[in-house]
Structure formats: C-alpha cells, structure tokens
Amino acid sequence: MDFRDAFHVLRELGQTPDGAMLTMANLTAIHWLHRLGALVTFCYVGWLAWRLYAQGVLRSLALAIAAVLLLQVGLGIANVLLQLPLPIAVLHNAGAALLLTLTVILNFRLASRR
C-alpha cells in the first residue's frame, strides 16, 4: 500500500498531484482505509442504535438507523464482490446520505427533548 499519493484534497479524481494516474498501491491504500473507517462507523453507529433501542428512546428511529447501517454494509460488500458496478456504488452513496440524514434527525430529536 502506498499512502503518499493516495490522499490529496486538491487533485483530479484518480490522479496524483502531478497528473499521473494513481497506482494500484494507491488505490489499495484508499480502499483499505475506507474499510477501516467503515468498520469503526459500523461499530459506533450499531452501538448507538442498540443503546437507543434498549433504553426505549426513539425506538423506530433506532431501528431505521440499524436497518440503513446493515444496508450500507451489504452494499459495500456487493461493491467489492461485483467490482464496483455503478448502480450499486450510487446506492452505497445514497445509503451514506440517508444514514447521515437519520443521525441528524436523531440529534435534533434528542436535543429537542431537553
């Protein structure tokens, strides 16, 4: 894995800062860090949904978060196994947006309870 050119904020998609294409080692680094971040996110958001459900707080929202979280994992695995077909990659992005939206709604509802 090569992290040196894998992560730059200002560059063209799929290219190093000097314009060369990313190497397989760069792409491997990006994919493995994405999976590590996904694992951390899965553990934390899964724990959060479980705690909300167990405490009886906003159970329907906790179930929705858990369902979308599991959908995200399934879509991520499908992306890997099917070699990133565009429709599944787009659904994976949409699932991430939905998960973010649900956590913002959760934050709003918990804050308004105070």
One-letter-per-residue 3-state SS of 74-109: HHHHHHHHCCCCHHHHHHHHHHHHHHHHHHHHHHHH
Q: Which pTM does this prediction carry?
A: 0.87
Q: What is the pLDDT of residues 57-100, one digit of tens each?
A: 899 999 999 999 999 999 999 999 999 999 999 999 999 999 99
17 in a domain, yes or no? no
Residue pair 75/86 in contact by the 8 Å Cβ criterion: no
Question: What does the alpha-carbon distance between residue 33 and residue 46 come to, in Å, rounded to a whole number?
Answer: 19
Q: What is the pLDDT of residue 107?
A: 96
8 in a domain, yes or no? no
Question: What does the alpha-carbon distance between residue 84 and residue 38 come to, in Å, rounded to a whole number?
Answer: 16
pLDDT band, residue 53 (cuts 50/70/90): very high
> Into how many domains does the chain fold?
1
- Find all residues with CB under 8 Å of 28, minimum gap 6, and list them: 1, 2
Q: What's the CA dihedral at 79, 83, 89, 95 to 10 degrees? A: 0
85 in a domain, yes or no? yes
3 in a domain, yes or no? no
24 in a domain, yes or no? no
Question: What does the alpha-carbon distance between residue 6 and residue 27 come to, in Å, rounded to a whole number?
Answer: 7
2 in a domain, yes or no? no
6 in a domain, yes or no? no
19 in a domain, yes or no? no
Look at residue 114 and give its three-state secondary structure: coil
Q: Which domain holds residue 88?
A: 35-113
